[in-house]
Chains A and B, each alone.
Chain A
Amino acid sequence: MWAWILHKFTGWVLIGYLFVHVATLSTVTAGAGGELYTNTLQGLEGLLLIRFLEVGLFAVAIFHILNGIRLLFVDLTIGLTVQDKTFYLSLLLTGAITVASIPTFLGGAF
């Protein structure tokens, strides 16, 4: 049951982010020249909060992808008898990959 709940939750986060993403990029690509773009985005990247949110977004995306792969296997009726184990595996991998990516995301933020 939790797999379904988490997949839904991460899904909502991702589609919400997509709208926000396109809206933000619309604002910074308006007008001539790339200064607004470069300054705004680098400014955002300078905020520690943004760096942490990026890690969060990454974790959300990774889980949705990994559990999504699990669901694709289920839809192909492969591995149905171990579906609970594959869910735990996707949780584990999400955690591992997120933790491993923290240095990259937070690099240069301090």
Chain B
Amino acid sequence: MAEHYSSFRRGGTLWLLQRVTAVFLIGVLAFHFVMLHFVNHAADVTFLGTQARMSELTYFAAMWLFLVTAAFHGINGVYNALINMGLDGRGKKAVAGVLVVAGVALVFQGTRVALAMSNLV
């Protein structure tokens, strides 16, 4: 195994991460739905209620991880769907760039929103 290079080049990492994030997302997305529609009713939403939930550190951390993993899982999913449809060469590189930027922007803005919802900062 001395000549073992980083697995990044082999394409297996993204595949594995897609599965790992999937497992996490099953739990946290179900939790999000139950929390916001069944435990609390969406029609009764108030900023104070949201702020109370988001100010709890564990809840906030869970929501932030939700954001990051969902962004990765979704954007990687879109990337794979496009490759399966034949995206190749320069187009592929361009799209990959756009997707990475979109993902970073999503996480960045989502973090700002999450912080605005809490009183942690």
**Per a CB cutoff under 8 Å, which of B42, B106, B113 touches A19?**
B106
Inter-chain contact total with CB atoms closer than 8 Å: 84
Q: Contact residue range for chain B?
A: 35 or more
**Other-chain residue from A18, A35, A58 in contact with B47 (beta carbon distance below 8 A):** A35
Is the CB of A87 closer than 8 A to any CB of chain B? no
> Chain B contact residues: over half helix, strand or loop, or mixed?
helix
The chain B residue sitting closest to A46, CB to CB, is B43
Please choose the segment from A61-69, A77-85, A88-96 that sits at the chain B interface, where 4 or more of its residues have CB less than 8 A away.
Answer: A61-69
Query: Given A26-B109, A34-B46 in contact, is the A61-B29 Cβ separation under 8 Å?
Result: yes
A29/B23 contact (C-beta < 8 A), A18-B74, A45-B45, A104-B38 known: no
Interface residues of A (CB under 8 A from B): 8, 11-12, 14-15, 18-19, 22-23, 25-26, 29-30, 33-35, 37-38, 41-42, 45-46, 54, 58, 61, 65, 68-69, 72, 75, 101, 104-105, 107-109
Residue pairs across A and B with Cβ atoms less than 8 A apart, 22 shown, are: A11-B74, A11-B77, A12-B78, A14-B74, A15-B74, A15-B77, A15-B78, A18-B70, A23-B109, A26-B109, A35-B47, A38-B46, A42-B43, A42-B46, A45-B42, A45-B43, A65-B26, A65-B29, A69-B26, A72-B22, A104-B38, A108-B41
